[in-house]
Structure 1
């Protein structure tokens, strides 16, 4: 199905297009008439709409304050501004009604798509779950099983046959399997290509996400008019969202259909929500979809860039292997699954992952909504109902934060005497900062470390020397990530003592 505008919306779009400069971007309310002159014109925005990330990054880095002003929009990479937005004046910068309207059909009222008291209640409940040792153990177990039982078999087969694989696609499938098991204890087996229902869900989810991303690049009256008339891409969203909701609701019904003792013995997020007894079926459905959205849009993208960077730098891969060997040797665990404590001791691997995220943050542009007139610490005025965006991609190329070698891939910048040292979240806001800091930050590192170590111990990848970024909603690798796989053979000497079998 073609997503182009039908004739009527196209005519309306052309008619109103040139009035867009005088209305708020993605807001149907009138703006304050006190808007100051802008540094970047609307017509420049239109001209660069197909390279918005690269263009705004160039402008931000060229600005003395690392901040630029566009029509009804401020974009910044200034750490002091980011601290002000995400912490000091947090209440003045919610996600906003525009953001929530764009994601309303897909994310409903889930934690990603909520503000205020509704967000606080979900945040408090989710915080309790993520703070337990049990959930971290479960996550590690699910990741380990998925990698050992499915991913390793696929990579081994590719190594034996010489077939090329799209590693990003495999990582994407793995992430969906993991998050569904952690959230609902349901295994969609998407890494094994799933059943008909799973394939229908994924197809619909991707179609809906494509329409949602398109909304960000349109004035709200355009996509709302299409939705009202049931035409263009909005027609497709309406057709596909039912399959997304049906899949998630089926899981909710299955969970509620369990016996009470079975629910109590379960450790997934959904079972705990069912036990509370105060949540509607629709809200439980939204929990599932929000978690799938969060997992699918972040971890696979980060790990794609990780494996590319490591595969093009043999010295980095060798040092990671040395660290794994050393940790295994200290614990006497020469060929078993890596434990939580062992993963935590891998400071260099943690540094490589952090350096990957610095250069290739999965979500490089994060928008907020200004509730009341404000002034940022660098003197930039922000008017009520303006959009404020922080650009974490540009921050990775700021000499004032990372030094003259900021564009180099250098994991050592995160280490002090061999021990990992985190940076301020306002200089490295990949996991956000302030009250909305990502609750899954620690578990994300656990998953990434477990996946990275398990794969690197056994496989090497032949990859392209260079690649291009593609920004849609996340910072993906353009054209996917095709790899040729080689399975490692023999033994490595464990620098912490003993030998490590690499069979």
Structure 2
């Protein structure tokens, strides 16, 4: 067993030596292809601001470049922010760019769920979820559910915080809210993470640990993290523990749901897990795989990840931008008064009324453009290909496209690309500007466009409207704000704020 590991030990020793040299002698933002260790030292040196570093490299290289990793590690891949390349991969030549084995190994915690699957498995799951999530009845159910959760959980907590004038991490509040919401919609179970007591819920915390460990797998050689996994040390030991805690929770929910559906002790309330189990028991499922607890576990995990992390991250960045751009907040307030108030009283909020909040919609889109919840995505080429940028792709080549970088490209958004301007999403006639999904990539594009896009906008607008109308949010002075180094673009230090009621 010692012989296969020898190259990894050699690379590790060389990497440590050259990395220390790099830190000592090279402080500039450059990308050097070193002997033996390739470009990895530059990446590690800039790991704390990796998204900005990759953005800078992409700008210096015309939007696409090849990253060369250490020898023996199979860590060479293409990186792009070119919309034409992305349109090519996600739409025009979709069949040639799959998730690939490497993606599935890195994100093994997602199992065979929709985010991790290709071919027939992906097609089946997408069809199944499309039928449920795109149904108008589900959208109406989801709208009423979110409004109820805001009134029963979010508002009481914010009232409590404002009455005592204490500092609070708004990111933590949003993560608790969206985890509760996702669990209710997917599993039919409310963990009550968001309450005045701010309970410490182990299986909710395990989500954060999983994300941190999964990013680690992106920035070290594959054999290195696999060795750690085999020996159960370091980051992989933490991942295994978090995975176990989360799986125990999900499988317990599955067992309870199967019992409820079988015995039918009471009228079942709607949730996605119940709907899938009922289809399974009624003979609608097509294979034995989809009838297994493993399929339910993978499906639930993927949906929980989408429902919790993307929405909470999106809301956190939105409220930071609003707090630092009071003129935008003022315009949204005026829009709320115009469309949601009648003689000083609030109207019943619904999807139709939400659609009239055009400026709020622009602010949400602008926030997602600058701070996409998923900052980068993977693809893997199946056959040889040439990208529109002229770069050649060999079979089994990994390509990363940076959603974060795309929002910061003058070639895509103009010279004011770094500015927060909801107006860029509004036509001169007051309508919403349509931007091709391969440019505004927050919800992916092509055949893999996010199925939850509509309900994500519904949830974000309902929450944003409730908070903006009722409360004034101020970021604590000198609070550091920067993206976390994670597969989800959370804030590294949270978002410390003070909240006061807008109207006494």
Is the 2:184–2:271 contact (alpha carbons within 8 Å) kept by the matching residues of 1? yes
The Cα offsets for residues 197-245 of structure 1, whole Å up to 9 and x where unpaired, read as x822123333333322221222221122222233333233333322211
Kindly report structure 1 stretches of 4+ aligned residues shifted beyond 4 Å.
8-13, 38-42, 193-196, 259-265
Aligned to 1:146: 149
Aligned to 1:385: 396
* Structure 2: runs of 5+ lacking an equivalent: 16-30, 69-75, 286-290
Aligned to 2:288: none
Aligned to 1:252: 254
**Cα distance, 1:477 vs structure 2:** 2.0
**Cα distance, 1:468 vs structure 2:** 2.4
Q: 1:194 to 1:433 in 2, by over 3 A?
A: farther
Aligned to 1:461: 473
**Cα distance, 1:297 vs structure 2:** 2.3
**Cα distance, 1:455 vs structure 2:** 0.6
1:80 aligns with 2:91: no
The Cα offsets for residues 223-271 of structure 1, whole Å up to 9 and x where unpaired, read as 2222223333323333332221111011111111114557985321111
Alignment of 1:54-73 (within 5 A): 54-64=52-62, 66-71=63-68, 72-73=76-77
Report the Cα distance in structure 1 between the residues aligned to 2:131 and 2:40, rounded to whole angstroms: 43
Q: Provide the secondary structure at the position in 2 that maps to 1:471.
A: coil
The Cα offsets for residues 121-171 of structure 1, whole Å up to 9 and x where unpaired, read as 000000111111121122222221222111111111111111000000000
Q: 1:215 to 1:238 in 2, by over 3 A?
A: same
**Cα distance, 1:394 vs structure 2:** 1.6
**Cα distance, 1:10 vs structure 2:** 10
* Structure 1: runs of 5+ lacking an equivalent: 1-7, 21-37, 491-503
Q: Provide the secondary structure at the position in 2 that maps to 1:420.
A: coil
Q: Provide the secondary structure at the position in 2 that maps to 1:113.
A: coil
Q: 1:111 to 1:375 in 2, by over 3 A?
A: same
Q: Provide the secondary structure at the position in 1 that maps to 2:219.
A: coil
Report the Cα distance in structure 2 between the residues aligned to 1:200 and 1:470, rounded to whole angstroms: 21
The Cα offsets for residues 34-72 of structure 1, whole Å up to 9 and x where unpaired, read as xxxx996654332232133211100112223x1111222
Report the Cα distance in structure 2 between the residues aligned to 1:477 and 1:10, rounded to whole angstroms: 37
Report the Cα distance in structure 2 between the residues aligned to 1:67 and 1:225, rounded to whole angstroms: 31
Provide the aligned C-alpha RMSD in A. 2.7
Q: Provide the secondary structure at the position in 1 that maps to 2:458.
A: helix
Report the Cα distance in structure 1 between the residues aligned to 2:7 and 2:344, rounded to whole angstroms: 67
Q: Provide the secondary structure at the position in 2 that maps to 1:204.
A: helix
Alignment of 1:70-469 (within 5 A): 70-71=67-68, 72-104=76-108, 106-192=109-195, 199-259=201-261, 265-277=268-280, 278=285, 279-329=291-341, 334-416=345-427, 417-463=429-475, 464=477, 467-469=481-483
Q: Provide the secondary structure at the position in 1 that maps to 2:112.
A: coil
Report the Cα distance in structure 1 between the residues aligned to 2:97 and 2:90, rounded to whole angstroms: 7
Is the 2:32–2:39 contact (alpha carbons within 8 Å) kept by the matching residues of 1? no
Q: 1:299 to 1:408 in 2, by over 3 A?
A: same
Q: 1:219 to 1:103 in 2, by over 3 A?
A: same
TM-score if structure 2 supplies the norm length? 0.86
Q: 1:163 to 1:46 in 2, by over 3 A?
A: same
Q: Provide the secondary structure at the position in 2 that maps to 1:112.
A: coil
Report the Cα distance in structure 2 between the residues aligned to 1:262 and 1:268, rounded to whole angstroms: 16
